[in-house]
Amino acid sequence: MHMVRLCMLLLALLAAGCATQSRPSRVGEVGLNSRYEAELAAEREARHFYDYKAPKTAAIFQSRPPGALVEWYNNDGIWVAVGNTPSREVVIEATGKPELFRVSLAGYLPQIKWIAATPGSSGVTVKFDLEPELPADRMIFRD
The answer to whether 110 and 102 are in contact (CB under 8 A) is: yes
pTM of the entire predicted model: 0.60
Whether 92 is in a domain gets the answer: yes
Name the residue range of residue 112's domain: 55-129
Whether 134 is in a domain gets the answer: no
Whether 45 is in a domain gets the answer: no
Low-confidence ranges of the chain (pLDDT < 70): 1-2, 4, 6-7, 9-32, 136-143
Q: In total, how many domains does the chain have?
A: 1
Segment 66-92, tens digit of pLDDT: 999 999 998 889 999 998 988 888 888
> Please, is 46 exposed, middle or buried when counting C-beta atoms within 10 Å of its C-beta (0-12, 13-18, 19+)?
exposed
Task: Count Cβ atoms below 10 Å from residue 85 Cβ, excluding itself.
Answer: 21
Q: Any idea what the CATH number is for the domain that residue 88 is in?
A: 2.60.40.780
Whether 47 is in a domain gets the answer: no
Whether 39 is in a domain gets the answer: no
**Cα(114)–Cα(74) distance, rounded to whole angstroms?**
12
Whether 69 is in a domain gets the answer: yes
Whether 62 is in a domain gets the answer: yes
Positive or negative: CA dihedral 51, 53, 58, 61: negative
User: What is the reported pLDDT for 104?
Assistant: 94
Whether 76 is in a domain gets the answer: yes
